[in-house]
A and B are shown apart, each in its own frame.
Chain A
Amino acid sequence: MIWALGAIAFWIAGSALNVWIAGRYGRARWARLFVPLLFGATLLVLWEGLVRGLDVSPVILPPPSMIAARFAQSTDLLWGDFIQTILKGALSGYVIGCGAAVAVAVLIDRSPFLQRGLLPVGNFVAALPIVGIAPILVMWFGFDWQSKAAVVVVMVFFPVLVNMVAGLAATDHLQRDLMATYSASYGQSLLKLRLPAAMPFLFNGLKIATTLALIGAIVAEFFGSPTRGMGFRINTAVGQLDMPLVWAEITVAALAGSGFFGGMALIEKAVTFWHPSQRAR
């Protein structure tokens, strides 16, 4: 009981401190970092305290300390799964899918007819439960990472395509007329004006696609996989009621997802430094 009460007290104290800091130093840079971190820490403490204090069985919800211990203990296993699922499955599929989407967007850019036909279809497909094709692709490409990459390709293709097409249309008349007065060819105006202008839109799509890629790669493993990979490990560990290992895999997935997303955001910052949304802060 002491654990639970202590955790709740800590949580209340942390929240009070957060409210105070937010009210007083809300604009400061360190406060922007510190407040969310403290909030996360209080959540972890609350979790640990409640699980211990209320004697929740680790089969249902293990405390963070136990997950951390399992994580440290099985780094080799986790690293192997990481390579199989994230590097081989998700990343290769992501590169192929996004590359194909950008290429298709540039190709159909010259044909308004194709655009008017493909865009509604693309928008429609982007809203569909594409994860559902995972069993079909696993059947076609076998159990190894190729099928996972194929699922990822299909999943990331349409969001990136839709964003890229919107991005290529983002220049206004004045800018295009200026290029025309320079007598720029189609290729020149594409390379020097429209591709750079499309970058904010493209990165929007690329950032959405990072999470989709991880989801696709992991879910596809539920339909069949070699004896490694994060989806496979989660499935079998659940079967053995080895919840700390499951949560360790989830931690890896969360870190990989955040890292992937953060990496894209950093690249975006470097590429579209001129855009108002990047300059504002």
Chain B
Amino acid sequence: MKALLPILTVLAAIVVLWYGAAVWLNSQWIYDQAARAGTEVTVTQLLSETMVQDRPVLPAPHQVAQGLWDGLAGQKITSKRSLVYHGWITLSATMAGFALGTGLGILLAVGIVHSRAMDMSVMPWAIASQTVPILAIAPMVIVVLASLGIKGLLPKAIIAAYLSFFPVLVGMVKGLRAPEGQQLDLLRTYNASGAATFWKLRLPSSMPYLFASLKVGIAAALVGAIVAELPAGATMGLGARLLSGSYYGQTIQIWAALFTAAALAASLVMIVGVIERVTLKRMGMAR
């Protein structure tokens, strides 16, 4: 509650700045029109006309809200104009990729923690793989997979998986190594097998780390799914909405798709957060 007032203030400041920027950026077009018609532009005219253009340079917040409402609630869900429809396409690819990436990340982490050779050989490459701007070549992967006959959900999911796997891997390696020497020694005095140590000590103690990286991973997976929709030819999904908007100068469409993506990212992270809280509480690790 204490944080609410400052956040609202900052958000209000952003909206005010946005309106100002909208007037400033869109005024050029008005002046051009007026010069062509040979008339003068009054301030009130300027203010009112910069708010209602069809293809503004920067749409005013209420225009974006209007476009967002139109796309979310004003269409049938199955319509090609509905943001719910496009959002669902992106979301399904995100979830599939997230599941793939998380599974792979956890498996690799288990291998790395248990095998010194794997730790030494895989870990440097896993880190190096993240300095490669893989996202930038995502469209190429899509095109190549399409030429192999693999289309639809899977190629997008692969990109999303690649992006979400790394945070999970790093977090899980850290988490599986989180138990202290004392705890490990205790299990050794019980003559616990490697598997028992894993299930009863390492896995439970890695949960906080796992959830922290799941939050990063799911946001990354969404970015991957959106970028995977960018190559020309894709007609469905939020990324395709962005691209077609930029081709036809439909700025309001771009902003609406962008805000849908933002809301999607925020709610995904929040859902993971809720699962985290419930799980940690059940496991007695709530902070």
Contact = CB atoms under 8 A, between A and B. Distances in A.
Classify the secondary structure of A's interface with B: helix
Interface in B114-156: 115-117, 119-125, 128, 130-133, 135-137, 139-140, 143-144, 147-148
A231 B136 contact: yes
A133 interface: yes
A117 B6 contact: yes
A210 interface: yes
B115 to A, nearest CB: 8
Contact of B251 (A127, A136, A223): A136
Interface in A227-262: 230-231, 234-235, 238, 241, 243, 246, 250, 253-254, 257-258, 260-262
Interface string B256-268: 0110011001100
Interface of B: 2-3, 5-11, 14, 25, 57, 115-117, 119-125, 128, 130-133, 135-137, 139-140, 143-144, 147-148, 215-216, 219, 222-223, 226-227, 230-231, 238-239, 242-243, 245-246, 249, 251, 254-255, 257-258, 261-262, 265-266, 269
Contacts, number: 167
Contact of B57 (A36, A139, A218, A243): A139
Contact of B121 (A36, A61, A133): A36
Nearest to B266: A124
Nearest to B59: A136
A59 B136 contact: no
A113 interface: yes
Classify the secondary structure of B's interface with A: helix
Interface residues of A, number: 63
Contact of B242 (A132, A250, A261, A262): A132
Given A131-B223, A136-B251, A118 B10 contact: yes
A40 B245 contact: no
A234 B136 CA distance: 9
